Structure 1
Amino acid sequence: MTVGSGDVVEVAGIPATSPLRTVLDVILRVDRYPAVSVLDSALNQCRIGPAHLATIPDLIRGRRGAVVARACLAEADGRAQSPLETRSRLRCVDGRVPPDTLQLEVRDDDGYLLGVGDVGWRGPRVIAEADGRDAHGTPEAVYADRRRQNRLVNAGWTILRFTWQDTLHPDYIPHTVRQAIAASPRR
């Protein structure tokens, strides 16, 4: 792919590659986890859209890394709100316990929103939370997480919490999720 006039944009007066071009260049050069994280982030932040995803296979055809990059496109999901959420989801997929939804809204019988879970398994009522330091590290965030978790637990949900360190151990997250699903009375 050669740089065309649509591949360059200005950011604060500085020429830069367009979001689509940047995503293409990155996913062709990195492994699956960072590639899917970049795709998820670009979709979540509306830097690229579903129509862009459809054009990527043609744009990367014949380039080194295209086979892996095409496989990553199928796993992209703009509902993931952080690379940690993406990595946690991919660990579950790789561990043969894929979630059935992301950003799972849990409501009570009156429709009141009790909380939103990062990764969810609706049948057994299991939610996995990806707790990044930036989003969950302040005292206010910790207290809000605790209140939300208490509401969800009281509504019959099992809440699991994972950190970046947990994603570095390939079997830990899927094993923990599998145990929670097995312990659920709603399997």
Structure 2
Amino acid sequence: MEPGGYRSRHIDMPFVGTEALAAGTVNRYQLRTRYDALYRNVYVPRGQKLTAVDKAVAAWLWSKRRATVVGLSAAALHGSLWIDARQPAELNQPSRTRPPGIFIHSDVLAEDETCVVQGINATTPARTAFDLGRRKGQTLAVVRVDALLQATQLKLPEVLALAERHPGVRGLRQLEQVLDLADYGGESPQETRLRLLFTNNGMRPTRTQIDVFDGRYHVGRIDMGWPEWKVGVQYDGIQHWQDPRRRTKDIDQNAEYRELGWRLVHVGADLMRARHDIIIARTRTELRAAGAPY
């Protein structure tokens, strides 16, 4: 274990140059020829594509392990997926001095708003959701909160309770809307955006990740829908079309759903990009055919 508690599987992780030299992990020639200084005295393998977690760790090491990892960087440490690694790392500390590639916040964080993740001080999932949910762009904020709900044991009332402790902070009104729109079953950004599309058209799905059974046999899981009407919607990512085995499984599964009385609407990336009206029309047709008042 490296100083500070962060577990590094190998030298491919960000590391402090002087510490690696002192430990004999690398020599000066190796440090100079095999690694690049991402920040002062913080090194990464030359040419390696960095993840959001890598950048969060590197930024924290740059702070001499004094800062608190916040925002998207905290979400990445907590296991949130779909975070763009091109975004700057985010730290919270009193000093605003920073190198390029790091964004500094200077918020006052209560003791119970921080925790330790792999030896690194970071905001708790609740505080992270509180911060991300207030940022400009409601849809993106819901996507990010959904991702945190997937990655952690976070419960939305925890974020609401935190909001009550911070009256008057910027973005609270949006945060309330984001928490109302967030869902524990949003397993991808596109699923979240699809759910919001229905919601904005007065057709909010009543369930997400609907398990369908034929007796004791588990047929499959539908991304979202209205189980009371047996109408479901599946978002089909590229793997559903490029993997022949997955495609065959989908066809067989759809036949089983139909035998059980389910009506399914499939949505792909092309529809999500520019044909929202078709998605709504097809889904509304199936709902009305099932007797739903939409």
TM range (shorter): 0.7 to 0.9
Give the aligned partner of residue 103 of structure 1.
209
- Residue 163 (1) aligns with residue 268 (2): yes
Larger Rg: 2
Identity over aligned residues, as a percent?
A: 25
Give the aligned partner of residue 285 of structure 2.
179
- Residue 42 (1) aligns with residue 148 (2): yes
Q: Please, which runs of 5 or more residues in structure 1 have no aligned partner?
A: none
The alignment yields a C-alpha RMSD, in angstroms, of: 2.6
Q: Output the CA distance in 2 between the equivalents of 1:59 and 1:136.
A: 47
SS at match of 2:245: helix
Alpha-carbon spacing, 1:90–1:15, altered in 2? closer, same or farther (3 Å): same
Q: Output the CA distance in 2 between the equivalents of 1:134 and 1:14.
A: 35
- Identify the match of residue 19 of structure 1 among 105, 125, 129: 125
Q: TM-score if structure 2 supplies the norm length?
A: 0.55
Alpha-carbon spacing, 1:72–1:12, altered in 2? closer, same or farther (3 Å): same
Higher share in helix: 1
Instruction: Report the alpha carbon displacement of residue 135 of structure 1 after superposing the two structures with TM.
Output: 7.4
Task: Decide whether the 8 Å contact of 1:95 with 1:171 is kept in 2.
Answer: no
Alpha-carbon spacing, 1:51–1:68, altered in 2? closer, same or farther (3 Å): closer
Instruction: Report the alpha carbon displacement of residue 118 of structure 1 after superposing the two structures with TM.
Output: 0.9
SS at match of 2:135: coil
Alpha-carbon spacing, 1:70–1:136, altered in 2? closer, same or farther (3 Å): farther
Q: With a CA cutoff of 8 Å and minimum separation of 6, indicate the structure with the bigger relative contact order.
A: 1
Instruction: Report the alpha carbon displacement of residue 100 of structure 1 after superposing the two structures with TM.
Output: 2.1
SS at match of 1:64: coil
Q: Please, which runs of 5 or more residues in structure 2 have no aligned partner?
A: 1-106
- Residue 151 (1) aligns with residue 256 (2): yes
Q: Output the CA distance in 2 between the equivalents of 1:45 and 1:135.
A: 23
Task: Decide whether the 8 Å contact of 2:211 with 2:218 is kept in 1.
Answer: yes
- Residue 131 (1) aligns with residue 232 (2): no
Alpha-carbon spacing, 1:74–1:11, altered in 2? closer, same or farther (3 Å): same
Give the aligned partner of residue 93 of structure 1.
199
